[in-house]
Amino acid sequence: MRVATISIYKQATYQLGRLTSDLNEANEVVSSNIKISSASDDPSGMKQVLTINSDLAALDQYQVNVDQAQNVLTTAETALDTMADQLSEMKLLCSALTNASASYQERSNAAESMPGYLASLLDLANTDAYGGYVFGGDNNRTTPFTCDDDHHPTSVTYNGSSDLVNISTSRNTTISLDCCGRDLFYEDHITVNPTNNKIVFIEDPGTGDDDIITHEATITSGTYSKEELAAAVEDSLNDVSEEQGYGIIYAVAYDDDTNTFSIGTDGSLDTPMRVTFEAIQTETARTSNLKTDGANFEDVKINIVNETPVTEYTPVPEGTKPLTFTYTEDNTWKVSNDPGYGLPAEIEVDPGDESIEIDVNDNGKADIVVNLGGTPEAGDTVSFDIVEGYENASILPDLGFESDSVILETVTSDVPVENSSFPVTVDDTNDTIDFTETLLDGGGTSVQLTAEIAADTYSDPESYAEAVEKALETASAENGNRVNYSVSVAYDEDNNASFTISEDTDTGRQLESFDLLFSSGTHADSSAAGDLGFNAEDVSSKPLEGEEATWSVWDTVFNLKNALENNDVDGIQRAMNWLDNHYESLTSSMSTVGRIYSSTTTTEATILDTDLTLTTQRSTVRDADTVEAIMNLKSAQTVYQAALSSTSSVMGMSLVDYMG
């Protein structure tokens, strides 16, 4: 068979092309040290490489996340540490200003420094890092804390989120950055001690001054959550009322949704009762502007043993004529600037006595004692002012009741109904009571119900009350919650009747409250309000509800400023109590931040280990063996050279080579 020259040429060209490609591939493997660069090299191997590359890219992102978390946590820890230092500084200032040596002017000057502390704390609370606010929760693009007035602030609002920032550190793992300002700068526990452990309340059944009872309940000192505080206050009120009062069963609750406390009763009170809760400021005497020059005196303290007779005050402003004692060689204290007590010109003491006992009412007992902490020498002086002060240890402000007094009343006639008003004739002009019912435990409020009092002439308040009670129960049974009501009658000294409407709890309590819609109801024009002694206004049995109990570091700064401005030593001590709480919370939060940061370092090490493992796996699948690659290249070169030589020989032959 004859082979055409053109066929030989094509076959040789094809073989040389294939060998050239093999040589290039071998050369590429040697130069790049990669044996799989495309799916055609090894489909299965390339799939593994792509999977590993994806995992490595995810690890790179996780490392970025960890870097971000560490940056935020470091910034947060620094800010919290600085805030804790400032709170400590404020407490130290307060401690000095509660001493007798502090003057009104010093407290007033300190009050002027409070806006500076507030501004500094706000700046720290609005710290930003990594393009967002550290303490804003997961809403970290909005300034977390803002004042109501930049020049004269009275409140601070939190604009961030209550949700924590979560950062992914692996496919199935996230780290929560515990840096939410709502948690850090607002307390959920309170310390109760003698600065805030009292509730003064007055029970008045409306039957004359002789029956009004004033109580003082004391809450046991300790640390309470808001729910625990509500229970403690409730127990204190009930114990005192049972032992000393009318046995009212009080109900104190905390609502987590609104962050408010409420004070009411259990609903069983079916006689008139008006309870007034008072945040009483009791007038008292305090010492101020203490000055001494005794070389041996250390930590001089003044104790007012008996406040009752201490009613004369030194002239204002403080320091004008302070009560002054000068020690003489005769072991006596010479008295000057007596504000009006009729003190002796000299007070004799035993040699070496380290105290001055002052009897202001001349009954032979010391009313004020000055402990010098050292032995006086001739010429030593002690001076101080006696100033008007106030005591207030009420827990009410911490419950959100900021006013001086709040009143809890049964649903009782606003004005007693005169006996001459009976008999009462009921017709379509005065036969309705519109009302709503609100169930316990968030059960919701009913639609408007309408009680229709049977048309009749009622000869006395008791029969009329019975008809009203029946009408309420009928309306509740038909369209409401089948509540049993009680309508009772009480008489004053003039035999005028007062009606009290309540839920009859003998069969169990159903309602949180009910509202009589004398004004807003659809049948206000035919309301029975007047016959029952009510003004034409809506009436509710709802418990008293306080303002939001934020317990924030900002509240403490504002309260401290107010106490300093008003020379209120009790208020300053109350603020110190809260400063302690805030300081402990911040230091605890710093520990939490440190723990989270430690976990990120562990995560970072895991990421590095995983990265190394994946990189090794990818190298095993993708990278070439250097020695093998070089041998393959040399083999390809040898084959290629041989093919070139052979092809050259064949392609160089002509027709003459076949003759002969």
Which DSSP string corresponds to 42-58?
Answer: -HHHHHHHHHHHHHHHH
Residue 575 lies in a domain: yes
pLDDT tens for residues 163-186? 888 888 888 888 888 889 989 999
Residue 36 lies in a domain: no
pLDDT of residue 57: 87
pLDDT of residue 270: 83
Closest CA to 96 of 83, 107, 84, 109: 107
Q: What is the full DSSP assignment across 489-553? A: EEE-TT--EEEEEEE-GGG---EEEEEE-TTTSTTGGGBSHHHHT--SS-EE-PPEE-S----BH
Where does residue 83 rank: exposed (0-12), middle (13-18), buried (19+ CB within 10 A)?
buried
Given a cut of 90, whether residue 101 has pLDDT beyond it is: no
Q: Count Cβ neighbours within 10 Å for each residue of 26-38 and write b for 16 or more, e otherwise.
A: bebbbeeeebbee
Given a cut of 90, whether residue 51 has pLDDT beyond it is: no
pLDDT tens for residues 251-302? 999 999 999 999 999 888 888 999 999 987 677 888 888 999 878 887 888 9
Task: Verify that 498 and 383 share a domain, yes or no.
Answer: no
Task: Verify that 496 and 573 share a domain, yes or no.
Answer: no
At residue 529, what are phi and psi to the nearest 5 degrees? -55, -50
pLDDT of residue 47: 81
Q: Please name every residue paired with 458 in a beta bridge, in sequence order, or none if there are none.
A: 424
Give the range among 431-440, 457-466, 619-628 with minimum mean pLDDT. Answer: 619-628
Closest CA to 606 of 169, 171, 177: 169
| H-helix or E-strand spanning residue 471 | helix 461-479
Give the range among 71-75, 310-314, 628-632 with minimum mean pLDDT. Answer: 628-632
Amino acid, res. 266: D
Closest CA to 21 of 1, 40, 44, 47: 40
Mean pLDDT along residues 387-399: 87
Q: In the listed set 526, 544, 562, which residue is the last one of a domain according to the structure? A: 544
Grade residue 1 by pLDDT with cuts at 50, 70 and 90: very low
Given a cut of 80, whether residue 46 has pLDDT beyond it is: no
pLDDT of residue 535: 93
Task: Verify that 529 and 594 share a domain, yes or no.
Answer: no
Given a cut of 90, whether residue 53 has pLDDT beyond it is: no
Given a cut of 80, whether residue 646 has pLDDT beyond it is: no
Tally the domains of the chain.
4
Q: Kindly tell me the number of DSSP H helices and DSSP E strands found in the chain.
A: 10, 32
Angle at 194 between CA 316 and CA 234, to 5 degrees: 130
- The sign of the CA dihedral 357, 359, 362, 364 is negative
Task: Verify that 263 and 385 share a domain, yes or no.
Answer: no
Given a cut of 80, whether residue 42 has pLDDT beyond it is: no
Task: Verify that 235 and 142 share a domain, yes or no.
Answer: no
Q: In the listed set 544, 573, 599, which residue is the last one of a domain according to the structure? A: 544
Task: Verify that 274 and 321 share a domain, yes or no.
Answer: no
pLDDT tens for residues 208-223? 889 999 999 999 999 9
Residue 107 lies in a domain: yes
Task: Verify that 218 and 308 share a domain, yes or no.
Answer: no
Mean pLDDT along residues 473-500: 93
Amino acid, res. 54: S
Where does residue 112 rank: exposed (0-12), middle (13-18), buried (19+ CB within 10 A)?
exposed
Where does residue 212 rank: exposed (0-12), middle (13-18), buried (19+ CB within 10 A)?
middle
pLDDT of residue 617: 76
Task: Specify the higher pLDDT residue, 443 or 336.
Answer: 336
Mean pLDDT along residues 308-328: 92
| Residue 93, domain CATH | 1.20.1330.10
- CB neighbours of 423 closer than 8 A, spacing ≥ 6? 457, 458, 459, 460
Q: What is the full DSSP assignment across 398-421? A: GGT--SSEEEEE-EE-SSPBPGGG
pLDDT of residue 643: 59
Residue 602 lies in a domain: yes
Q: How far apart, in Å, are the Cα atoms of 109 and each of 154, 257, 565, 569?
A: 19, 40, 8, 15
Residue 6 lies in a domain: no
Mean pLDDT along residues 581-607: 91
| H-helix or E-strand spanning residue 274 | strand 274-278
Task: Verify that 569 and 467 share a domain, yes or no.
Answer: no
- CB neighbours of 638 closer than 8 A, spacing ≥ 6? none
Average pLDDT, the chain: 87
Identify the three-state secondary structure at position 369.
Answer: strand
Residue 408 lies in a domain: no
Grade residue 43 by pLDDT with cuts at 50, 70 and 90: confident
pLDDT tens for residues 535-580? 989 999 999 999 999 999 999 999 999 999 988 888 899 999 999 9
- Residues in the chain, how many? 660
Q: How far is 248 from 191, CA to CA, in rounded Å? A: 27
Task: Verify that 164 and 261 share a domain, yes or no.
Answer: no
pLDDT tens for residues 423-443? 999 999 999 999 999 998 888
Residue 642 lies in a domain: no
Q: Do residues 530 and 421 touch, judged by C-beta distance below 8 A? A: no
Q: In the listed set 219, 250, 278, which residue is the last one of a domain according to the structure? A: 278
Identify the three-state secondary structure at position 479.
Answer: helix
Q: Please name every residue paired with 432 in a beta bridge, in sequence order, or none if there are none.
A: 452, 527
pLDDT of residue 24: 55
pLDDT of residue 117: 96
Domain containing 229: what range? 189-278
pLDDT of residue 622: 58
Whether the ω angle into residue 423 lies within 30 degrees of 0, i.e. cis, is: yes
Q: Please name every residue paired with 101 in a beta bridge, in sequence order, or none if there are none.
A: none
Task: Verify that 96 and 168 share a domain, yes or no.
Answer: yes
Residue 78 lies in a domain: yes
Q: How far is 507 from 529, CA to CA, in rounded Å? A: 27
pLDDT of residue 249: 94
Grade residue 86 by pLDDT with cuts at 50, 70 and 90: very high
Task: Verify that 261 and 326 share a domain, yes or no.
Answer: no
Task: Verify that 486 and 508 share a domain, yes or no.
Answer: yes
Task: Specify the higher pLDDT residue, 333 or 170.
Answer: 333
